[in-house]
A = this chain, B = another copy of it.
Amino acid sequence: MTIPTAPQLTDDLSDQMHQLYRHLHAHPELSMQEHATAELIEQRLTGLGVEHFRCGGTGVVAVLRNGDGPTVAFRADTDGLPLAEDTGVDYASTATGHLEDGSEVPVMHGCGHDTHVAVLLTTAQLLVEARNAWAGTVVLIFQPGEETAAGAKAMLEDGLWDRAPLPEVVFGQHVMPSLAGTISYSAGDAMALADSWKVTIHGKGAHASQPQDSTDPIVLGAHMITRIQTIVSREIDARRAAVVTIGTFHGGLKENIIPASAEFTLNVRAFDPAIRDHVLGALRRIISAEAAASGAPEPTVEVLSTFPRNYNDPAATAALVEQFRQALGEENVVEIEPLMGSEDFGALGAAIGVPSVFWMFGGHDAATLQGEGPLPVNHSPFFAPVMEPTLSTGVRAALTAILSRVGA
């Protein structure tokens, strides 16, 4: 398959995209609260004359129909993070939002989803303007709540695939702190499955001098944590990736009181669903058994989030990479290892059993990459992609992918 001359970004369209990006960056919203962002997207789509519908609360789905041909889907996520921006750019966010507990927090597009939205709306405009260059149907998915793994789930539960045409493939991309102008990908596993739990240990309090009257939840927690290390070290094939991190542990108010309870949160990563299942099972086994070893009641386990598999279909990936190489140049398409980070993108294709491909596009210039001090990565208050060639590369990659399926 070859690609016809792709629609090109004009200077005007480029300027519009940059202004759109500045606006989005300055007005981030928290996960599942992307109301203004959704309205903006809807306005733009309406302006382009593109059919669209709300899905999953603050999600928006656009359907570009252009005669007979394949259907392809492309997803951009839309949410920001509870983070105080410290980038110093003139379009920095001063927005705030409210967490579930009601507290007000600063909000920042610290993961670069603003680039995703700006790129996909611009791509939509190019597709609308170049209807002769393609045939078929393009479904654009503006997904909320990626950071909390809530958005893809919400859209699927809200009937995404009952309401949108079924695609033969789902594409998606993410900005990352690599060289702007380049694409990075891995075939097969793209990102890790991730599960987060909160575990509450129920002990029995007592005065510090009388441990015999207590069931010490801090000592019990310490033994759980040391025991949990054996899952990765002893239960998993060394050739399979698995991580169990205890991100927090909190127990006790005063040095001379043994508290009645303690709690910790954990985060599990794996590529292979069977490994993930084994790890979660082993965690339940150990948490339960260690409580029994202390004579404590069964701990309470609360699931905080579940990020699904993000698997790049090897054949679809190989075909697309070939197109990327032609479109962007060999040297700008880099194979990387799967990333241990997580995404809920993979759920969209998996829900209907179609392949998906997810890649990264760079957001930093060489100076930033080679600078001293820590690199401003995603989720850093200093994360500020350079606008170009970041955004135009995003557009070219998106167009390349879409046209690889529906191109004339």
Residues of A that sit less than 8 Å from B by CB: 192, 194, 196-198, 207-212, 214, 216, 218-219, 221-223, 225-227, 229-239, 241-259, 262, 264-267, 269, 282, 285-286, 288-290, 292-295, 304, 337-338, 340-342, 379
Contact = CB atoms under 8 A, between A and B. Distances in A.
Contacts of A247: 208, 218, 252-259
B286 A293 contact: yes
Contact of A340 (B227, B239, B241, B341): B239
A218 B248 contact: yes
Given A219-B233, A286-B293, A289-B292, 4 more contacts: A208-B245, A209-B245, A223-B223, A223-B230
A256 B211 CA distance: 27
Contacts of A255: 196-198, 245, 247-248, 265-267, 304
Contact of A209 (B243, B251, B290): B243
Contacts of A341: 207, 209
Contacts of A221: 222, 249
A197 B212 CA distance: 21
Contact of A234 (B214, B238, B264): B214
A321 B221 CA distance: 46
Nearest to A269: B209
A237 B222 contact: no
Contacts of A304: 255
Interface centre among A225, A244, A288, A295 (most CB of B within 10 A): A225
Contacts of A251: 248-250
A237 to B, nearest CB: 5
B212 A222 contact: no
B233 A244 contact: yes
Contacts of A340: 207, 209-210, 238-239
B285 A289 contact: no
Given A243-B209, A269-B238, A293-B227, A259 B248 contact: yes
Contacts of A253: 247-248
A333 to B, nearest CB: 19
A374 to B, nearest CB: 10
